[in-house]
Structure 1
């Protein structure tokens, strides 16, 4: 999978994007070296921390130029994970995968892992009311709020609260769901080695629930959701998809799919995932 690097190349000679009307804060390009032309620009990252209002301030102009916004969290005080730790050459194309097929395979693997580490009764309770066979895709959410406005609101809530001093990053990619693959993000590598397969699921969530990728860290993904499930019953099928997508998210925080569906999902415009 390759990114469209022309907008980034322009920033190498016009670092604040003044000629494109962007008025960006000081920042720098992150390059890729392991695949493709050496020093091909991969993304732009601000030198300083993003502030509330950043998403809304830049979104329209950046969309026109061909960028997608994402917040990058520097968890450990170093930048190694985004400066030398990103490799798009290691992933496929999200369009090569079907969300339902990806979720089916991940569900079966996650259920097998639960059954291997818990007794039969506890394993059954963990994934109840489902059995080892994964349900189909959850129905689409109701009438969504504006997905971009929701993304702006969620990103503002993340800055300084869930994420401490995140950086603004710009990625030349057509849709937000493809952003992790476009930069070769490896956060879920212990669960899924090809992040493009997870991006196929993100595409489906984008279409069904108005989801947008708003933040990435070394092993964490934050989404805004314009049309989340509204009731625990609606949330159950979504919870099953989350369990397949990121089992740690469910079992290390809620013990069971049912609790996760009841407590974490109804009406929640912010979905977060982390891989241990």
Structure 2
């Protein structure tokens, strides 16, 4: 895949190069990476060109903004040959299996007693509640994604553009060989399968990816407490460390009980819960708020298995527009 040749993109793209994967014989090049920072206009143009080019644009963030290697992308720490196909996995089955695993009580190796452990996932406890229903929306998911791209770049101006040959953003995660969830599973295709389902059910779009963080826009978040709890359950199953590694586990009801017109974004897809965060838009907190672990505590050192993203301020309006940030299941440095 050389986007500069054969696709008529030469005049649109800034200087860049193909990234060679660390694995194999050095002949796998899963993505194109710009040499310098991206712009919102560039991402939007490449997103509009996707239908013709087959290349999905990703805003790529690095582990350390001062690192000249721009890990993991510039350093080739991507492993597409290790991945299966997202089509090989059923997202409902995956979430149910993960839920069963992560709600299991191990009294011999648990910081919490059984009662407090089950309170973390109340009102469901260890019972998987099933998937949240899809919702129709009048918000254009692609327009919202472009708006989020602009907001993301305002927060992270060092972000570069990546182009991946993929049918969707969810599939681009696997095709690029992103290893963000490797502390839980080396097969990113499983996580892509779930994200692809979110694309269909909630109008989610993959906009940006970091060393271990995944950033989505969401056009159709839940609008009542029941839907919000179901989405919270999906996100706990997808990435439980967003809750486990907060400063104080508490019951889910405390966050979903009071509607609000604000939207708060944090390490786990709080954008999916528009109207249900405890914090108002733009506020920050030094404590974890469940069910979604909206803010990781800045006072507690993260253990080795931790999501490595930072806290993100919300930008939202009173309409059905929101964005979310998903902690990518705990990749180590």
Shorter-normalised TM range: 0.7 to 0.9
- Choose 258-267 or 137-146, whichever is displaced more: 258-267
DSSP-derived class of the 1:236 partner = helix
- Aligned match of 1:102: 94
Contact kept? 2:63, 2:72, Cα under 8 Å: no
- Aligned match of 2:242: 249
Contact kept? 1:34, 1:87, Cα under 8 Å: yes
How has the CA–CA distance of structure 1 residues 94 and 261 changed in structure 2, closer, same or farther, with 3 Å as cutoff?
farther
Q: Which runs of 4+ in 1 moved over 4 A?
A: 259-263
Instruction: Give distance in 1, aligned partners of 2:131 and 2:94.
Output: 11
Instruction: Give distance in 1, aligned partners of 2:43 and 2:179.
Output: 24
DSSP-derived class of the 2:62 partner = coil
Instruction: Give distance in 2, aligned partners of 1:67 and 1:45.
Output: 12
- Aligned match of 1:126: 120
Provide structure 1 residue ranges, at least 5 long, that are not aligned to the other structure: 1-7
Cα offsets for 1:184-204 (capped at 9, x unmatched): 111111122211111110111
- Aligned match of 1:270: 323
Instruction: Give distance in 2, aligned partners of 1:167 and 1:10.
Output: 15
Considering only aligned residues, what root-mean-square deviation do their CA atoms show, in Å? 2.3
Whose helix fraction is larger, Structure 1's or Structure 2's?
A: 1
Provide structure 2 residue ranges, at least 5 long, that are not aligned to the other structure: 258-263, 265-269, 275-320
Contact kept? 1:66, 1:174, Cα under 8 Å: yes
Contact kept? 1:242, 1:250, Cα under 8 Å: no
Deviation at 1:28, TM superposition (A): 1.2
Contact kept? 2:43, 2:59, Cα under 8 Å: no
2:149 aligns with one of 139, 143, 155: 155
DSSP-derived class of the 1:112 partner = coil
- Aligned match of 1:5: none
Instruction: Give distance in 2, aligned partners of 1:241 and 1:130.
Output: 12
Instruction: Give distance in 2, aligned partners of 1:190 and 1:101.
Output: 20
Deviation at 1:183, TM superposition (A): 1.1
Deviation at 1:112, TM superposition (A): 2.1
Q: Which has the higher contact order (CA 8 A, sep 6+)?
A: 1
Instruction: Give distance in 2, aligned partners of 1:246 and 1:140.
Output: 20
Instruction: Give distance in 2, aligned partners of 1:260 and 1:54.
Output: 37
2:16 aligns with one of 8, 15, 27: 27
Are 1:69 and 2:75 an aligned pair?
A: no
Are 1:111 and 2:118 an aligned pair?
A: no
Cα offsets for 1:54-111 (capped at 9, x unmatched): 3223321243111101111012123241232101111111111000111011111211
- Aligned match of 1:258: 253
The aligned length equals 263
Instruction: Give distance in 1, aligned partners of 2:192 and 2:161.
Output: 21
Instruction: Give distance in 2, aligned partners of 1:53 and 1:176.
Output: 18
- Aligned match of 2:204: 211
Are 1:81 and 2:82 an aligned pair?
A: no
Contact kept? 1:211, 1:223, Cα under 8 Å: yes
Contact kept? 2:122, 2:253, Cα under 8 Å: yes
2:166 aligns with one of 150, 166, 173: 173
